[in-house]
Structure 1
Amino acid sequence: MHWYERGITMTMVCILCEILLSPQQPPNNDDDILLLPRKHRRLPQRKLSNILDLKKPKHLRLLNLQQPIQNMTKFDCVHTKTKPPFPICVYEASKDKYISGALLSGGIWEPYITEVFQRALSKYPESTLIDIGANIGYYSLLAVHMHRSVIAIEPQWDNIQRLHKGAQLSGSLDRIELLHNALSNTHENVSLTDNLDNQGGIQVKPIQMGIHARDKTQVETIIMDDLLQIADFTQAIIKIDIEGYECKAMAEAKKFLDKIYVPYIFMEWKQMFTARNEQDSPCPMVAMETLAKYLTSRGYVPHEARTGFLLNPQLASSAWRIGDLYWRHKSASRLQADF
């Protein structure tokens, strides 16, 4: 070995020693996570089975559906009469008179909206469903059986158990990301109300010391933009039914809508409209008007969900006495059910 070769070798050894012996510094930002690139760190858990992800999503209570259901209560599961049919786990009709009652008696929930919803999914086969207020998983599991991926967000633990079991029975665990969170416009802990005969009517309430602090179930909220931490898709269809909290849930969605193309947003409107003048309403008239103006500014047009009837966004807080609607992006086609 020549003298200059020995010099180069010694220099390389010294550099290597300096690297190995120097103290490890914590990452300065979230791009400095060892050797795991950003595009892999934030994929859903089904894509990370063999990757050590050192950057866990903040605020998101992402459940591992491969694990057994914790503290599972006894409940029945039935098969729907939708096309395609799928297993779903329900309450007794006396405890959940609307959704479970309809599934137990007729095998389908909201047939006209179901039809329109399926048409939306069929038009965008690459889309992921964002199911906000997933309840026992009717729309999530229907989407899964149409071979779509789903992010389901549900705060109520009894509902989560049933959705989890339904996903297991469907053999579709790799298609569902289930979050035990509520959606709002800020990060906080909130409480859930009780509803003895309508599990779909449970509402989110701010925690008040002495009233909700000890005797109510609490859950952490996330904002819509948080979902980008686990988004590995570029198209999504949103379904949101959270009992009058919809305006809060959509208030922090700018980054999400900037990055993800959303042709349709299915939304319950009735609860917001009914409670708009109440003193403690989470979505008063001004918030409803702000929501309508914001979505309109982003190119969305409102339609009544079943008929596809075009709505005037200027009347959102004063005249929309409808149960459900969908916001259609101007680039997407109009939907309606067959009567």
Structure 2
Amino acid sequence: MTDDNWKRSKPTVEDVRLAYLMLLGREPEDETALRNGIEFYGTLNTLRNSMATSDEGKRALLALLSPSFSDSRVKFHSGRGFDIWLELQDNGVSAPIFLKGRFEPYIEHFIEDRFDTNTTFVDVGANVGWFTMIAAALIANSQGVGQVISFEANPQTAELLQATVQSSSFADFIEVHALAVSNEVASVWIENPDDGNIAGASLSFGGMRRTSRHPASAVLSAPLDQILADHPQRISLIKIDVEGAEPRVIEGARAIIDRHRPALLMEFNAEALAMVSDSTPTKLAKQVERLGYALIDFRGDGVRCPVDRVETLVRENGGYYDLLAMIEGKS
């Protein structure tokens, strides 16, 4: 068979299965996906190109190659006026940024459109600092007097965040805290998952680790009410993405929230909330509403999200979903 002929050949079920295994590194969802793949892709060439260049295909290739790199940490030029250090073995945050130059664009757009650059943005669970740097760039480019205060508990990721900030022309606008945020001053464990998603590292409270199978580090935790008690500038926006510790962050920020009434960008992750805080998306939504906030589906239709709708949104979007919380009646 010539090159041209194989490219035009219709894939078989076995071709589709092998493409999943070789290009995506996993089995297909089910037999229906296999059968549908034959008609969907049409030719072997389309099957190969579509899978290899998909977001999942790119991540699989990067995961395959990165262990062979002499150093999986790279400095990436964002195209947004800053460079950022990434860990290519992290398929949760760093890999998508490296491959696409974007991460969670709905949050990028919200910060770009709504952040007042004469106020403070608090980034809780900053990871490598993508949103931290976007906000800092906005402040600098608008000649604002605002500030970004970033918190990252994972020592491995916090090191990259600090390296990015220290080498940036926006460093004067950013304050980095390499610690966990919760509702108490305590020593806690941060445990890394074994699925390559370093961004999915989660906290374990009460002085005990959930499991000895995963790499873990002891880190200090503290509440925002203590850390930012004397912060002089208005805090207009707090982003909270801490893999299930969101209820603890909110509980430890009651005074800050009451004083500044910031918008809250929050992740609702059903599995992580249950594991880390013995909570649920509904419980977290009610906790926020009791503080006088309304939940907004800013990813979807931009309208208010009733509490009884939160669990459905989370379930329909793979187990986690980001929502905006605004003071009732404020847009």
TM norm structure 1: 0.66
The C-alpha deviation readout for 1:245-279, integer Å capped at 9, x for no partner, is 111110122211222231x100111x2x2355x5x
Alpha-carbon distance between aligned partners in 1 of 2:160 and 2:252, rounded to the nearest angstrom: 29
Q: Pick the aligned partner of 2:277 from 279, 282, 288.
A: 282
Alignment partner of 2:304 out of 310, 313, 324: 310
Change (3 A) 1:125 1:330: farther
Letter in 1 for 2:135: A
Distance 2:104 2:160 in 1: 19
* CA contact 1:245–1:283 (8 Å) conserved in 2: no
Structure 1 stretch displaced more, 202-211 or 320-329? 202-211
Aligned mates of 2:109, 2:102 — CA distance in 1: 11
Deviations 1:294-325 (A, max 9, x none): 43233311112322242102444566435111
1:158 maps to 156
Match for residue 135 of structure 1 among 120, 127, 132:
127
Alignment of 1:90 with 2:83, yes or no, is no
Partner of 1:182: 180
Q: Which residue of 2 aligns with 1:293?
A: 286
Post-superposition shift, 1:282?
1.3
Instruction: Return closer, same or farther for 1:246/1:210 CA change in 2, 3 Å cut-off.
Output: closer
Q: Are 1:131 and 1:140, in contact at CA under 8 Å, matched by a contact in 2?
A: yes
Percent sequence identity over aligned pairs = 24
Quote the residue 1:107 is aligned against.
Answer: 101
In the TM superposition, what whole-angstrom CA distance separates every residue of 1:118-163 from its partner, at most 9, and x where no partner exists?
2121xx2322111000100001111110114111011111211211
Could you tell me which amino acid in structure 1 is paired with residue 185 of structure 2?
H
Gaps in structure 2 of 5+ consecutive residues: 1-70, 140-145
Aligned partner letter, 2:297: E
CA distance 1:225–1:204, change in 2 (3 Å): same
**For residues 1-339 of structure 1, what are the structure 2 equivalents within 5 Å?**
75-81=73-79, 84-92=80-88, 95-121=89-115, 124-147=116-139, 148-196=146-194, 197-206=196-205, 207-208=207-208, 216-262=216-262, 264-269=263-268, 271=269, 273-275=270-272, 278=274, 280-285=275-280, 288-307=281-300, 308-317=302-311, 320-321=314-315, 322=317, 323-330=321-328, 332-333=330-331
Moved more, 162-171 or 201-210: 201-210
Unmatched 5+ residue regions in structure 1? 1-72, 334-339
Q: Distance in 2 between matches of 1:284 and 1:191?
A: 19
1:87–1:252: structure 2 CA closer, same or farther, 3 Å change rule?
Answer: same
State which drifts further: 191-200 or 314-323.
Answer: 314-323
Q: Is the CA contact (8 Å cut-off) linking 1:248 and 1:283 kept in structure 2?
A: no
- Structure 2 residue matching 1:85: 3-state secondary structure: coil
Give the TM-score taking structure 2 as reference length.
0.67
Paired positions, count: 247
- The amino acid across from 2:224 in the alignment is M
| Whole-angstrom distance in 2 between the partners of 1:109 and 1:203 | 20
Structure 1 counterpart of 2:38: none
Cα offset, 1:200, TM superposition: 0.8
Bigger proportion of residues as helix? 2
The aligned amino acid for 1:137 is G
RMSD: 2.6
Contact preservation (8 Å) 2:147, 2:173? yes
Q: Which of these two proteins has the greater Rg computed from alpha carbons?
A: 1
